[in-house]
Amino acid sequence: MRDHRANRRIRLLFATFGLLFLVAIGRAAWLQGPQHDHLTQMAATQQREVIAMPAGRGTIYDSTGEPLAIGEQATTVYADPRTVVDAQRAAIVAGKTLGIDPNKLYPELKDRAKEFVYIERKADPVKAAALSKQAIPGFGFYPEELRTYPQGRVASHVLGFAGTDNHGLDGLERSLDTTLSGQSGSETIVKDPFGRAIDVVTSRPVRSGRNVTLTIDHQIQSDAEQVLARTVKQFGAKGGAAIVMDPRTGAILAMANYPTFDANHFSTSSPDARRNRAVTDAYEPGSTFKIVTIAGALEDSVVTPSTRFTLAPTIRVADRVIHEAHLRGTEVMSVKDILAQSSNVGTITIAEKLGAGALASWIGRFGFGKPTGVDYPGESPGLVLPLQNWSGSTIGTVPIGQGIAVTPLQMVTAYATIGNGGVRVTPHLIEKIGNRQVGHPPGSRIVSARTANRMMTMFRDVVLEGTGTQAAIPGYTVAGKTGTAQKAERGHYVSKYVASFVGLVPAKRPRFAILVMVDEPHGNIYGGSVAAPAFRDIARFDLQYLAVPPDAPETKAGTLTAFGGPSNQ
């Protein structure tokens, strides 16, 4: 009886093992058959991983070779939550080593539905190396660049900035993104069951971006920014812009704006602070625009510097009566006097003699109403009313810089044209890409050398009579023009002003064309008192910095060679 029961149990055991064997064989056949492709794909996914290798972004240098935008070494730390063994411990170790909050990291690491999460993007490479030594399963590391701006706020509006993915988001970083970015590479790695890389199967090499050299000089730029900021704060102004240009080549040595921002912390700055007013903002220029009317009339032989007019204190143009900035009686003035005293009535009289068609043509020839062609994104063309849309009073407003909007860059380019003997050159910021010199369009003649020389000569004798005396620089002749333009809002002029000064120095052979524009100054509103001193300070630094020899060593402080005064002064 006992033998019978024992045999029965043995047969049952064999049957059980046989059944399990058949199940195992069936399972194996199912896995190797219908599930083969799916499992093969899962295994490859678990064992292999393609890691992108970002290309190094090109460096942006100033004209002296000083880096303005560079890529610093950083390490990105990531994890595959599916292969993280202890999510809590991993979060604590990573948080302590990298200085991040482990409580925010832990939910990410324990979520096994995810295949990839960032631990920290562009971490400190020293801290990342320390974490790597912990050999935490599921963690991975790859090198990246952190875009930084070693000069801080200097030239931030020109440079713009690049985002976390090292793609340009604003300024030259954006417009030159393809040049600076290069081409990313990749690596296909094999991992062990713990998610640790054990071999590199394939790789695609990285092609770094090209370097760019600008015309900006960081010393000239920094000084212009400091002077502009001081001026805006002194007069409680809304903002301002300053440009320093070489009139001979169009190279922009400085382009300053206020308010400003630090490109290293662009995300915390306001859109208003990031706006490059020198290129994007259009404003009514006021008296600085009179240079177009006078130069055009001289070139067309409508007047000469000595042509005289008997001028009443007011002038009626269609339905408008336009006054001088200051009360005076009827006077006889030459063209030279009209510009020196910034006479509105005299300028309009010359404009009427020149004619609306010719004036409109000269406005276009000087480059107003269209972009200058500067190699910077987002340039405004300004606002110029087409001739066919002129009303009867337009010939009385546009010649004195009202009813027209220009950018600071357009205005300084117009003055640079006069300072360059009548030849207009295209303003530019980019000097070299890699080792290749960037070509720029050849200059185009706008007025004759004779007209340009007459413009310069006509006002070098104006010393104390003009309104720009505060732009004087001892030892140098200065040619320039003040502007005080009333602002319009919703079609009506209000008690807000733009004060400006545009000048050329040394006047005998200009090396710099410099514009200073201050938006809505308070207390003192006049270009001669607000913007001219800022011009003087910027120009004086530039002359000394580049060791430009004095061209008038006999002059004393307070002496100025100027292009007259503002229309609203």
Q: Are 504 and 510 in contact (CB under 8 A)?
A: yes
Residue type at position 302: V
Q: Would you call 12 exposed, middle or buried from its count of C-beta atoms within 10 A (0-12, 13-18, 19+)?
A: exposed
Q: Are 463 and 480 in contact (CB under 8 A)?
A: no
All residues at 6 or more sequence positions from 196 whose CB lies less than 8 Å from its CB, including other chains:
135, 137
Strands (E), 345-473: 423-424, 430-433, 436-437, 444-445
Q: Residue 154's closest CA among 64, 74, 234, 236?
A: 64
The tokens 């070779």 sit on which residue? 65
111: phi > 0 → left, psi -120 to 50 → alpha, else beta; which? beta
CA distance 215 to 244: 11
The tokens 């832990």 sit on which residue? 106
The catalytically annotated residue of 63, 175, 287, 500 is 287
Is residue 208 annotated as a catalytic residue, yes or no? Answer: no
Helix (H, G, I), strand (E, B) or coil at 195: coil
**SS3 sequence of 102-138:** HHHHHHHHHCCCCCCEEEEEEECHHHHHHHHCCCCCC
Q: How many CB atoms lie within 10 A of CB 340?
A: 22
Q: Are strands 185-191 and 197-204 parallel, antiparallel or unpaired?
A: antiparallel
The residue count for the chain? 569
Q: Are 190 and 161 in contact (CB under 8 A)?
A: no
Q: Is the link from the previous residue into 506 a cis peptide, with omega within 30 of 0?
A: yes
All residues at 6 or more sequence positions from 545 whose CB lies less than 8 Å from its CB, including other chains:
219, 220, 223
- What is residue 267's DSSP assignment? G
CA distance 410 to 140: 52
Residue type at position 307: T
Q: Would you call 343 exposed, middle or buried from its count of C-beta atoms within 10 A (0-12, 13-18, 19+)?
A: buried
Q: Which residues are catalytic?
A: 287
